[in-house]
Amino acid sequence: MIYFLQQLLNGLATGAIYASLGLALVLIYRTTNIANFAQGEMATFSAFLTWQLTEFGLPIGWAILISLGLSLILGAVTYVLIVRPVQYKDEMTIIIVTLGLFLAYNSATGAIWGFMQKASPSPLPEQTWTFGTLRIGAELLAFVAVLVTISVGLYVLFQRTRLGMALRAAASNAQSAQLVGIPYTAMMTLGWGMAAALGSVSGALVASRLTLDPNMMGDVIIYAFAAAVVGGLSSYLGAVVGGIVVGVSQSFSTAYLPALGSDLQIIVPLLLIVAVLIVKPEGLFGKAVQVRV
């Protein structure tokens, strides 16, 4: 039982990472209708930015905050210069552009900071609390706190503020949004900026666990997409629930299906996704697309 709980908690911490990146994916999908394959690489870039700032002598907490601000600007610039010109082209063009962004960010990270792994300072204390044989690390508490903060923040922004309403309206109907006076391009730019800032948070979470490496988000982005798709791709709540489901199932498959080994355990969360999509193609919290005729 304790072992089960321990695995559940481990999965929860991992799930928080997937959920935070999944939220960034949902944010971009909701505002610009684009699946941003480069989200993970943008997050990696942000994590390296954070590392660079600590190298300049900044405390890690400040470095993360400044990197978050820089990521917001970077996301906004990426939208204006690269995404906006192709936004209304067909899906294939957009997919190719975001895959191009993936490569560009990955290579930029490598070109600037090298492909060698780097030890990253963690903002978290090494503290662990023990209850019987159950161990709860500061990491778990911090990850969950970060996820809750992000989720509540997004909820308040979208449901309780004028800016959030304008963002929702712009995502819902571009033309009508402009006709009520909402600056559409500014909203899209802000959406991309916010997503990049969210990504930088997930980058910071990953970096606090492992070493820095330009390819560190490669697996994470797959799971984040899985989380977002399980949740329905357009639902913020869905991304959070999806992230936790994927994280926990991954943790359980490692713990209870050792025969799969570390390379094959990836199939468990992926099978789960396939199962969800077969039963409920619009995802757990997604809305089936309705076309009025």
Partner 1 sequence: MKVLDIKNFSAGYGRLRVLHNISLSVQEGSVAVLLGANGAGKTTTLRAISGLIKSEGSVLLDGQETRGLSPDRIARLGVAHAAEGRGTFTDLTVEDNLRVGAFRRTDKSEIAADIEKMYVLFPRLRERYQQKAGSLSGGEQQMLAVGRALMLRPRVLLLDEPSLGLAPVIINDLYDTLARVNKELRITMLIVEQNANLALQIADYAYVLESGVISLQGPAQEIASHDGVRAAYLGDI
Residues that bind partner 1 (CB under 8 A): 162, 165-166, 168-169, 172-173, 175-184, 287, 290, 292
Closer of 128 and 161 to partner 1 (Cβ): 161
| Least distance to partner 1, CB of residue 238, Å | 14
Nearest to 251 by CA among 19, 4, 40: 4
All residues at 6 or more sequence positions from 196 whose CB lies less than 8 Å from its CB, including other chains: 24, 42, 46, 71, 72, 74, 75, 76, 78
| Least distance to partner 1, CB of residue 137, Å | 40
Closer of 183 and 258 to partner 1 (Cβ): 183
How far apart CA 198 and CA 239 sit, in angstroms, is 13
Closer of 31 and 54 to partner 1 (Cβ): 31
The tokens of 197 are what?
């800032």
Nearest to 209 by CA among 137, 285, 116: 137
Strand, coil or helix: what is 136?
Answer: strand
Determine the number of helices (DSSP H) and then strands (DSSP E) in the chain: 12, 2
φ/ψ (deg, to 5) at 210: -120, -175
Closer of 92 and 162 to partner 1 (Cβ): 162
| Least distance to partner 1, CB of residue 188, Å | 12
| Least distance to partner 1, CB of residue 23, Å | 18
Closer of 130 and 290 to partner 1 (Cβ): 290
**239 touches 24 (CB < 8 A):** no
Closer of 174 and 246 to partner 1 (Cβ): 174
Q: Which amino acid is at 2?
A: I
Closer of 82 and 169 to partner 1 (Cβ): 169
How far apart CA 268 and CA 153 sit, in angstroms, is 32
How far apart CA 160 and CA 280 sit, in angstroms, is 30
